[in-house]
Amino acid sequence: MARRKGLFAQMLDARKRAKELEAQAEARRHRELIAEQKRQEAEASREARQAEAAAKKAEVARLRQEVQAQRLADQAAAKAVREASQRAQAEERRQAAEARAKAQEAAAAARQEEQEAQARMAAEAEFRTEAVATRVADFADLLAGRNRRATDAVTELDGAAANGGPAVFVERLQRVLAQSRYPEGLTGRAAAHYDPASRELLIEYELPLQGAVPIVVAYRYTKAKGVTALPRKEPETKKLYGDLLARLTLRTLAEAFGATSPHLVDGIVFNGYVSTKDKATGRAIRPLLISIDARRDKFAEIELDEPELDPVLCLRGHLNAIVSPHPYDLEAVRPVVSFDLSKYKFVDEMDVVAGMDSRTDLLTLSPGAFEHLIRRLFEAIGMESWVTQASKDEGVDGVAFNKDPIVGGLCIIQAKRYSKIVGLEAVHALAGVMDHKRAAKGVLVTTSWVGKASRDFAVANGRIEIIEGRHLKYLLKEHLNLDVLIGLEKLPPGWQQTDLT
């Protein structure tokens, strides 16, 4: 009986082992199936990426062919226009010769020829007048005629930056800008530099000289004087020139922003120069007439197609550009970036002192006016100074530069128009900005006062100067002859009432 049970157990064990082997085989088949599925998926993904890359390459080739075809078509059209003009001129000369021949045959024919000549001169005057009007109208249409297809180049420029770096990116961008079509005499030549770390694009633009603007408003024909020019009034000519430069600036910024991605270009520093000769010396000069640091979000607020848009006011008032006050006279301006301080964004100067009376309360000034007043003070002391733009100033209200080779250097200015004590954190922040900008000195100027901890910190730092309200009042009187008031609610510790009034 015991032996029979042993055989049964052996049969059960054999069956159990068979099931285990079958389960292992099934698991192995399952793993192989999953591995095969993953391999097929990977192969399909690789083929999809290859197909996508091939499609992009084909699209780029197609776009290049279209550009080439358009260029050839434009050249053919221009050639046809020239040939038609030549034929028309030849026909006009032939008709004039026939008219002269007829005039020699009879007096009546001569009178007819005279009438025809007068008609031609009148037509010439009208034609030249229309040409001037068309020229001025072309200036007004510069923004509307900008290259709106520049946005088609975004993908190409993204790839150029990713695969070729800043140099290739700039080369492709300049090609895009060069495709923009300008009226005759306006070349639109621009050079660019790209800083990927700050996402800033620097554009140097060759602006047209004053001769681009017609100094004649119309032509008139009279029998006594023939065709005579009616000169344009000088103020109108200068205004047209300034308007032209502003439109070229806005157009170039629009095309550059349109052709680039926000993640590559957040801001554009635009410097517009003219190349000419100094009449006093005969030497080549290149005065800067427009300089601007345009942020993408700020520029996006402009309605470029609005007929009522004033381009000069847009540059000065909205974008805080530094624009020559007399561009027609080629009066140069400072660039928004000077002394290689590429991290600063300077604004145009404001003559605050001219608008102040001798008893102005400093606390009634706007923050911007107070900063410009401090700029004037530092200039009166003997330093060159600028006020930075309000956005992204990194805690810098102004920048001064002392050219003394021994004790000079860059000076960071913080202007605090406060009515209460300035906290220690402001002095700490100034020290941090000084280290970041590698400045030689930092000055905190305030209408109020600081505490002992702030003064101790400034002394320990060794490069920080604090000018409190009463000292500021004295400096304004000494250097700018301004006897100002400081309307603090309470007298600071250790001050006298005369320190405020």
* Cα 145 to chain centroid, rounded: 19
Same domain, 319 and 360: no
Residues 357 and 479 reside in one and the same domain: yes
Task: Please report whether residue 53 resides in a domain.
Answer: no
Instruction: List the one residue out of 215, 230, 213 whose CA is nearest residue 142.
Output: 213
Same domain, 364 and 397: yes
Residue ending a domain, choose from 313, 329, 345: 329
pLDDT attached to residue 391: 37
- Continuous segment of H or E residues that includes residue 244: helix 234-259
Rounded Cα gap, residues 437 and 409, in angstroms: 12
Query: Does residue 256 sit in the same domain as residue 129?
Result: yes
pLDDT of residue 312: 94
pLDDT (0 to 100) of residue 500? 80
Check residue 344 and give its pLDDT.
Answer: 39
Token pair 């008031």 is found at 485
Q: Are residues 323 and 384 in the same domain?
A: no
What burial class does residue 146 get, using C-beta atoms within 10 Å of its C-beta: 0-12 exposed, 13-18 middle, 19+ buried? Answer: buried
Same domain, residue pair 381 and 264: no
Q: What is the pLDDT along the chain (501 residues), one digit of tens a residue?
A: 455 558 888 888 888 888 888 889 888 889 889 988 888 988 888 888 888 888 888 888 888 888 888 989 889 888 988 888 899 898 988 898 888 888 787 778 778 888 888 888 888 888 889 888 989 999 999 999 999 999 999 999 999 999 989 889 999 998 898 888 888 878 778 888 888 888 899 999 999 999 999 999 999 989 888 889 999 999 999 999 999 999 999 999 999 999 999 999 999 999 999 999 988 898 999 999 999 999 999 999 999 999 999 999 999 999 989 999 999 999 988 887 543 434 433 344 444 444 454 567 888 887 777 887 887 888 787 766 554 444 344 455 666 666 554 555 678 888 888 888 888 888 888 888 887 777 778 889 998 999 999 999 999 888 889 999 889 888 888 888 888 888 888 888 888 888 787
260 and 400 in one domain? no
pTM across the whole model: 0.49
On whether residue 110 sits in a domain, the answer given is no
Pairing of the two strands 441-446 and 464-467: parallel
Asked whether residue 442 is domain-assigned, the answer is yes
Domain contains 10: no
Residue 487 maps to a domain = yes
Output the domain CATH number for residue 462: 3.40.1350.10
Considering the domain architecture, whether residues 225 and 289 belong to the same structural domain is answered as yes
Dihedral through CA 224, CA 225, CA 229, CA 235, nearest 10?
Answer: -80
Quick one: three-class SS letters along 253-307? HHHHHHHCCCCCCCEEEEEEECCEECCCCCCEECCEEEEEEEEHHHHCCCCCCCC
Q: How much is the pLDDT for 352?
A: 45
Structural domain count of the chain? 2
pLDDT (0 to 100) of residue 338: 40
186 in Cβ contact with 206 (< 8 Å): no
Question: Chain-centre distance of CA 346, in angstroms?
Answer: 13
- Give me the pLDDT at residue 346, please: 38
- Per-residue model confidence (pLDDT) at position 318: 92
How confident is the model at residue 115, as a pLDDT?
82
**What pLDDT does 265 receive?**
94
Considering the domain architecture, whether residues 324 and 359 belong to the same structural domain is answered as no
Whether residue 170 sits in one domain with residue 311: yes
Residues 6+ apart with CB under 8 A from 122: 221
The structure tokens listed for 499 are: 């320190």
Which of 329, 364, 387 finishes a domain? 329
Which pLDDT belongs to residue 386? 54
CA angle 338, 342, 344 (to 5 degrees): 80
If asked whether residues 316 and 426 sit together in one domain, one would say no
Are 257 and 365 contained in the same domain?
no
Q: What is the pLDDT of residue 375?
A: 78
Domain that holds residue 133: 120-329
37 inside domain: no
> In this structure, is residue 438 part of a structural domain?
yes
pLDDT at 388: 47
Say if 55 falls within a structural domain: no
Q: How confident is the model at residue 2, as a pLDDT?
A: 52
